[in-house]
Structure 1
Amino acid sequence: MPQLDVDGARLTYDDEGPRDAADVPLVFVHGWTADRHRWDHQMAHFSTRRRVVRLDLRGHGESTGAGVRTIGELARDVLALLDHLEVERCALVGHSMGGMIAQTVALGHAARVERMVLVNSIGRMAYSRGRGLLMAASTLVPFKLFVAANIQRAFAPGYPREEIREHIRASAATPREVVMTLYGAMRAFDVLDRAGEIAVPTLMVHGYHDVQLPVGQMLRMAKAYPDAVVRILDAGHELPLEKPAELTGALDAFLTAKR
């Protein structure tokens, strides 16, 4: 299990697949309170024919470290890993907060990104006044209840309850400081006005039933992108868990399409 020390954090990552593949490496970035195993289905599929990298973000999964306050700081961790692995250019895939990280990388280091995939992600957190008050109040409840409420509502109706409970337990294991500071970082994230600068071919895959980051917000972002393809699937916010095979199929079609 390889690890990399970056600015007080020890990042755990996987680097699999053939190094001599014609395609650029595929790099997966998970979301808030998750870990690199969100991408198990995609890792197994794509690593048979191309190099695939995934990591646990600092403070998540098997990575250590805290103190990060912005999405930009997490983007620097991803870039540090790419530098360490000598990956000059990649296809970058991010889920939820991971998509925010991917956009930050693409805006600051466009030459490093050949294609990008945003899974259940947006360019600006937007709340109605009522929802904004509700979200602010949710931080005042006990930590485990706060995590449980956010994870519970991430899944579309009908997803197995026992599996949701397991994901709640895993998310609650993420250190409180990491959870709460990155929650604030996501709320502050806003690159929507710069979306037109991201000229790399981009696939936006979203769950129709996503109430965490509603599909309408993604469509608003898609309109601003110069080169975006949109896929909407019958799922909630956790597409990598709810519809892993369909997500893999959408990625495969996008990554192999002629541009």
Structure 2
Amino acid sequence: MPTFISNGTQLYYEDEGEGFPLVFLHGIYGSSRMIHVEISRLKEHFRVLALDSRGHGQSERPSHYTIADHVQDVINLFHHLELDTAYLMGISMGSYIAQGVAIAVLDRVKKLVLVVPKSHGKTSSMQELFTRHAKELEGLSLEEKISRSFNYMFHNHDSVQKAFRDYHARQAMLTQPHEQEAANRALDGFDFHDGLKKITARTLVISGTYDGLNPPEIGKALAAQIPDAAFMEFMHSGHAPSVEEPERFIHEVTQFLA
């Protein structure tokens, strides 16, 4: 099981495939298991390094951490694997972390893919959604809250429901309330907006038309702040383009990184 120590915390990562390295960062409450289908496709083209963020998956779960810790963990993964440069892709929370990395180590991120991103927020987009619909979601588990919120988050419900059942079977998501709360607190007040103009990596921003968490207008505005960025809207997706339009997602990402 590949692990390393980052600032005193043991972190797990997947290492699949061969070729130019692609560091792949999952979303909040998830893990590398949550993106295993995407990894299986992308490893045909790249050496895919999928980190379980601290507090998530098979990584150690401290009671308190920050987005700065997440960013440093990715940089430390670069150090651990002796990567001079790599492609970097993040989905949702992973896209927030990826922005921080691309700003902090400009010369080490060759290309950057930000999927359903935002550049700043009071907390996680998921928590903001749960707060907006607190009465409707009161007393439900995380899995039940997400399932009940599908109409606000996704377009292709069938594909997402199937993937969601798979995540649950793989124990891919956080289940303990205190771990979910720690994950939310780590994003409190994060803000990379002012640093976007510093990013030197060629960047692709992907948003989904029906995304009620980080809608496409946010992704488009973010892309406009990065000097060498392209914006792409998936018209049949919400917050999970890689699940809702998987063939197009793999095609666009591999074409961009090729």
Shorter-chain TM-score: which interval?
0.7 to 0.9
Q: Count residues in correspondence.
A: 248
Code of the residue aligned with 1:45 in structure 2: it is: R
Q: Does 1:236 align with 2:238?
A: yes
Counterpart-to-counterpart distance in 2, 1:27 and 1:89: 10
Code of the residue aligned with 2:237 in structure 1: it is: A
Name the counterpart of 1:79.
Answer: 75
Name the counterpart of 1:247.
Answer: 249
Code of the residue aligned with 1:51 in structure 2: it is: R
Counterpart-to-counterpart distance in 1, 2:69 and 2:43: 28
Aligned ranges 1:200-215 → 2 under 5 Å: 200-215=201-216
Unaligned runs of 5+ in 2: none
Code of the residue aligned with 1:91 in structure 2: it is: Y
Aligned ranges 1:70-219 → 2 under 5 Å: 70-125=66-121, 135=131, 138=134, 141-142=138-139, 144-145=140-141, 148-150=144-146, 152-153=149-150, 154-156=153-155, 158-159=157-158, 161=161, 163-164=163-164, 167=167, 170=171, 173-219=174-220
SS in structure 2 at match of 1:159: helix
Q: How much is the aligned-residue C-alpha RMSD, in angstroms?
A: 2.9
Following superposition, the deviation at residue 200 of structure 1 comes to 1.4
Aligned ranges 1:12-91 → 2 under 5 Å: 12-18=12-18, 21=19, 24-91=20-87
Name the counterpart of 1:9.
Answer: 9
Whether the aligned pair in 2 keeps the contact of 1:30 and 1:98 (CA below 8 Å) is yes
Counterpart-to-counterpart distance in 2, 1:74 and 1:138: 28
Unaligned runs of 5+ in 1: none
Q: Among all aligned residue pairs of Structure 1 and Structure 2, give the percentage whose two residues are the same amino acid.
A: 29
Counterpart-to-counterpart distance in 2, 1:121 and 1:235: 14
Whether the aligned pair in 1 keeps the contact of 2:34 and 2:172 (CA below 8 Å) is no
Following superposition, the deviation at residue 7 of structure 1 comes to 3.3
Q: Could you tell me the TM-score, scaled by structure 2's length?
A: 0.83
Following superposition, the deviation at residue 172 of structure 1 comes to 5.6
Whether the aligned pair in 2 keeps the contact of 1:41 and 1:245 (CA below 8 Å) is no
Counterpart-to-counterpart distance in 1, 2:155 and 2:122: 21
Counterpart-to-counterpart distance in 2, 1:82 and 1:208: 33
Counterpart-to-counterpart distance in 2, 1:186 and 1:150: 19
Code of the residue aligned with 1:2 in structure 2: it is: P
Change (3 A) 1:66 1:244: farther
